[in-house]
Structure 1
């Protein structure tokens, strides 16, 4: 069996069966936004990472079009938001065609109080550049055909998508399956993908309109037979372009049926007769499924993005949920590679599965509400929805759910109520949390404002000070609260929590499950071994050397 030449030239871990001089830390399958986020974060942490994708080139087509507030925060923490903001259109209004007119999106607990309409291809390109800049090797035109794992290693066999060339073997300590709804990784590890198709023969198209809605407005119109969604969309060809999603129960045909311009125009005009269609650009017919895996982890293989969950496109949740899956997973893999307990990786499923389930429920309810053919249900929807969406508590909950700003993770027994909530809106002397994470990714200890000055940064911890009266917080690398120093919590309780998540030493002891101390083993590492110098921390002298070695191992 041969080795990918671009990989073998760097003596890295994928070699023919019979031996390997090196093993990758992580192999990511899928070079969409989910896979590239995971790869970029791990490479930034100094881990050796390779990404495999079956497509020969990066896709220039864009199914997703809206980047939500919580995803923009993650991108900002990676230095990617500013350029995307310059390329996108901030949408701050929602027009459902109901009485009372368009709904202005409420203030969100975020610096990005809007949905950024930007092609997914632009997000993919930004994440691709970032992953490569940090040392991840991205290999395209490669498909996975086999996968086997044991207690310490995953062996993946691939072949060129073109069919020309011999198979290649890749070896890694962990594999991230981010290869989409038809995931090969998911199939090879035997994880079922239960669910069903809820809408068939939906149409996605780029259209140039005369008399289209204002650029800052998301517009939806419904009829007894379907709906049409429109949002302004920047294209190189010039102004007036919109992304349209339509569905018509009278035109549910197989996906293989060619999609002509006339059908796109007819579908759109049936719901929006007031707009003129000057041109139809890219278009695609697709079906909408609702599916979710039961297990996000199988040994050393972890699933994320569409490989773990798919749902209705209503609300623009797909790409955003995948990026957030990856951001929450990457630092945990890095932590376990650095000595944290294996149970840290189990939290990927316990945290992200409920999020995926809520996304399926929210987007599904929205799809069913828009597509109901019952006159009675349509009348009830049109009467009740305008009232509900103008009640601040209900409106804020709905919008915050889609924006991700109200998302939270489960907390353990006895933990403060703030644990599992987002910390990105906490005001800091040093600026925003995303700005802190942009320069020093890792755990952050937010100290109360009455502290004269934050203590020194000690790996894997950065210390900052808040400007309001809130409590001390230990914030994870993904921006969620791991510990809060509220009443009833020990002032230095963060030490045990940090130790459990990272496996670092606390008072000369290492820790077992949830901060329970255990006797340290004798240190058998050589003085040059940098295993304890964690890449997601700060003040780690070995980090640059480890990153350079990771680049060498992962290939060009």
Structure 2
């Protein structure tokens, strides 16, 4: 049997690509390792829920407040007006997306990708079957590599595909305690503290009956488990039962090239599409899967290699500016505790709060209220230059 497209990787990106292609009438195979749960805070914005038709049954919590915590334990609570941040549990959410792709017509294969080969008969995707251990070969016209950060597909097929910078993220899923001063089931806590993470941040994200507590860092010497233990202690969560522990790389910069100029295109973490500064990835992964499916379908129809470039072009057209701003913010504020203190102080500003969450909910830079943007720019520069003192509360 020859497939139109073989999708390698069954996370949100790969499952979305497989579903879109199957619904458009293509013969699709989805290869997934199964049993792996990515460490993830699990936050999804309303736009994702609408764009990808996510049922309410997948939303395990609806967050209405975000709390920013500085190195000196300054706390800034930001209300999420006219909406909420949806929380999902990746253990169930990813499987829901895979099942939906199969219901749309994609064929699921459980195993580990090994390589791509080519001969006069076409392109062949090799994987090791999880149940039997047998080597299996799938014949295909196109391949979508959605096999995560440090993608083996990207490493083999894409120039510099193995050179994307990344943060190592680690979290522990715990049983949620009763609401306390330090834990609110309707609030996400983001901790900007060099003792927890010297170059990124820590988090406490409620998931209904459970919660994700974790952090990330690019620095190899950081003890992720020790830092997470310290975060749990500071948040009053040490005695909560640990359900599972997970760690994985999170890419921080989109690759310059997403296709091999022949028959492979990347999607999601494999393409590096995780937002700088925030580390948000689910929405961008699913968008990445959708544009990869669009590019693959266009190439299958036209036979033109250049159509593979559509994936990166479509993604960057809509999200390049947001990634640029978030990257600049990370470079400016994550360097030291002094900078992190100023960043949390800046979050007191009402204009900053409103524009930040409008951009998060809608996934675009807000063009309204130009004077608010000017004010924020002036305040931002003033904080970075130390012309103002951090707000004391």
Q: Distance in 1 between matches of 2:218 and 2:125?
A: 43
Deviates more, 1:355-364 or 1:121-130: 355-364
Q: Distance in 2 between matches of 1:39 and 1:248?
A: 32
Q: Distance in 2 between matches of 1:184 and 1:321?
A: 20
Q: Distance in 1 between matches of 2:274 and 2:30?
A: 25
Classify the secondary structure of the residue corresponding to 2:239.
strand
Question: Which structure is higher in helix share?
Answer: 2
1:244/1:365 CA distance change after superposition, 3 Å: farther
Moved over 6 A (4+): 248-251
Whether the aligned pair in 2 keeps the contact of 1:28 and 1:178 (CA below 8 Å) is yes
- Structure 2 gap segments, 5+ residues each: 367-393
- Structure 2 counterpart of 1:177: 145
1:355/1:31 CA distance change after superposition, 3 Å: same
Q: Please give the residue correspondences for 1:164-243 in structure 2 after superposition, counting only pairs within 5 Å.
A: 164-165=133-134, 167-193=135-161, 194-197=163-166, 199=167, 202-208=169-175, 209-210=177-178, 211=180, 212-226=182-196, 227-234=201-208, 239=209, 241-243=210-212
1:149/1:42 CA distance change after superposition, 3 Å: farther
1:89/1:340 CA distance change after superposition, 3 Å: farther
1:203/1:127 CA distance change after superposition, 3 Å: closer
State the TM-score, normalized to the length of structure 1. 0.56
Whether the aligned pair in 1 keeps the contact of 2:66 and 2:189 (CA below 8 Å) is yes
Equivalent of 1:268 in 194, 210, 232: 232
User: How far 1:368 sits from its partner (Å)?
Assistant: 5.6
Residue deviations 1:164-197 (CA, integer Å, cap 9, x gap) = 43x4432222111111112121122142133434
Q: Please give the residue correspondences for 1:251-290 in structure 2 after superposition, counting only pairs within 5 Å.
A: 252-253=221-222, 259=225, 264-270=228-234, 272=235, 277-286=239-248, 288-290=250-252
Classify the secondary structure of the residue corresponding to 1:205.
strand
Whether the aligned pair in 1 keeps the contact of 2:192 and 2:340 (CA below 8 Å) is no
Whether the aligned pair in 2 keeps the contact of 1:231 and 1:244 (CA below 8 Å) is yes
Q: Please give the residue correspondences for 1:86-125 in structure 2 after superposition, counting only pairs within 5 Å.
A: 88-97=60-69, 101-107=76-82, 113-125=83-95
Whether the aligned pair in 2 keeps the contact of 1:312 and 1:367 (CA below 8 Å) is no
Residue deviations 1:423-454 (CA, integer Å, cap 9, x gap) = xxxxxxxxxxxxxxxxxxxxxxxxxxxxxxxx
User: How far 1:135 sits from its partner (Å)?
Assistant: 1.4
Is 1:402 the counterpart of 2:356? The answer is no
**How many pairs were matched up?**
354
1:128/1:180 CA distance change after superposition, 3 Å: same
Classify the secondary structure of the residue corresponding to 1:39.
helix
1:103/1:372 CA distance change after superposition, 3 Å: same
Q: Distance in 2 between matches of 1:218 and 1:373?
A: 23
State the TM-score, normalized to the length of structure 2. 0.76
- Structure 1 gap segments, 5+ residues each: 1-11, 14-23, 108-112, 409-556
Whether the aligned pair in 2 keeps the contact of 1:232 and 1:243 (CA below 8 Å) is yes
Q: Distance in 1 between matches of 2:62 and 2:21?
A: 30
User: How far 1:358 sits from its partner (Å)?
Assistant: 5.1
1:374/1:368 CA distance change after superposition, 3 Å: same
1:402/1:315 CA distance change after superposition, 3 Å: farther
Classify the secondary structure of the residue corresponding to 1:102.
strand
